[in-house]
Amino acid sequence: MSFPLSYRPHGDEVLERLRQFYEERSQEVVLARMDVPNQALAAFLKQHPPGRCDYPDPRERLGYWDAFLLERSPLRDDSIPCAALSEMDQGLFGGLLGGDVWFLSDERGFISSMVAPLLNDLTELDTLSFRTDSQWYQRYVNQLRVFVKGAKGKFGIAHLVVINGLNFVFELVGATKTYLNLDEHPDLIRRAIDLGFEINASLQDTYFEEVPLVEGGTCSFSYQWIPGRIIPESVDPFHMTSVDYFEKWGRAPMEKIYARFDGGVTHIHGNGRHLVEAVCSVKGLKGLLLLDDGDVPPAFEVLGELKKRTGNMPLICTVAFGDFHRALMGYDLIGGVMYKVTDVPDVDTANRCMDMVREYRA
């Protein structure tokens, strides 16, 4: 039986490597997603320069992803082609509860959504209601169905972002009031977290009802493909706190929603690396994306030290092609890592490099 996504030739081989990475947690293999110049992305950026924009037509977005992923199909890297539901991030959650949603296009070809805080304070929590007949829920379901129909047999649909725990409270009252309420009104924080869980669980249930798994796994723009029904959680609110705050307020909501499905993945920004040991011990975590930002060295430059702290957790990090190629040729790559390689000159260069990546053993 052939691989179900035609935009990934030899997809069965890629899934086998991803299973080694996520299920077996092999520390010998290295994986790579190669980012090469893309004419579809260039055309999008010319038509939609980064900045505020209107709510996009889902059919137009589907057309962009189709063109972008088809152009990538000659690549023989470890990526699984999938369209991102980037429009349905913060704005979906805020819009469902009556917020004023606005949109931003960016240099990655994404159109994301944001919303201003919904409440003056958490004492207004009872004024909120979540309804599946709302405009935003219907937009969400419509986009899922448009994407699923248009992508069938060609590419997957990446999982929907989770805005849970303190991330959800941020949506309601903003970051500053959330942090203050942790000590001043912890009971209201818990009630808000409970509401967030119910909304997130419902939205994720809808995603998995509408979007078929690919060979028993979930597609992901950053993590490619993970076996089971996997959701992407965030620990961003704890980047500015101590580990103790994560243990008190972050671990339980994260583990609760992971247990609702088959686990999840998360990311850590540069200013959150003090959290890596705690986050890697979260039950149900399947993979960790290390982001580069803030006044810290890029993850690739300190990957050996980070690997010691994260154990056999599958890691994803970004690296420029020149640095990656030098490490590959010098047999200096760390195993158990998927490398997101940027600035690769062309497809032929990427594929020659991938021939060596597949043979590499750390």
Q: Fill in the DSSP letter of residue 154.
A: T
Confidence of residue 47 (pLDDT cuts 50, 70, 90): very high
Total domains in the chain come to 1
pLDDT at 207 over 90: yes
Note the pLDDT tens digit of each residue in 293-304: 878 999 999 999
Phi, psi at 34, each rounded to 5°: -100, 125
pLDDT at 124 over 80: yes
AA identity, residue 123: T
First to last CA, the chain: 32
Note the pLDDT tens digit of each residue in 61-102: 999 999 999 999 999 999 999 999 999 988 899 899 988 899
Does any domain span residue 269? Answer: no
Partners of 218 in beta bridges:
226
Does any domain span residue 27? Answer: no
> Of 90-99, 140-149, 275-284, which gets the smallest average pLDDT?
90-99
Does any domain span residue 140? Answer: yes
Confidence of residue 35 (pLDDT cuts 50, 70, 90): very high
Does any domain span residue 284? Answer: no
Note the pLDDT tens digit of each residue in 125-134: 999 988 888 8
In this prediction, residue 38 carries a pLDDT of: 98
**CA–CA dist 296, 34 (Å, integer):** 24
The chain-wide mean pLDDT, for the chain, equals 96
Q: What is the torsional sign of CA 113, 209, 152, 230?
A: positive
Confidence of residue 1 (pLDDT cuts 50, 70, 90): low
pLDDT at 275 over 70: yes
Does any domain span residue 165? Answer: yes
pLDDT at 256 over 90: yes
**Mean pLDDT (whole number) for 276-281:** 99
Does any domain span residue 310? Answer: no
AA identity, residue 37: P
pLDDT at 147 over 90: yes
Does any domain span residue 331? Answer: no
Range of the domain at 110: 39-74+81-213
DSSP 212-238: --BTTEEEETTTEEEESS-EE---GGG
What Rg value do the Cα atoms of the chain yield, rounded? 20
In this prediction, residue 295 carries a pLDDT of: 85
In this prediction, residue 90 carries a pLDDT of: 86
Q: Tokens 């912890």: give the residue.
A: 186
Do residues 102 and 91 make contact, with C-beta atoms less than 8 angstroms apart?
yes
Does any domain span residue 144? Answer: yes
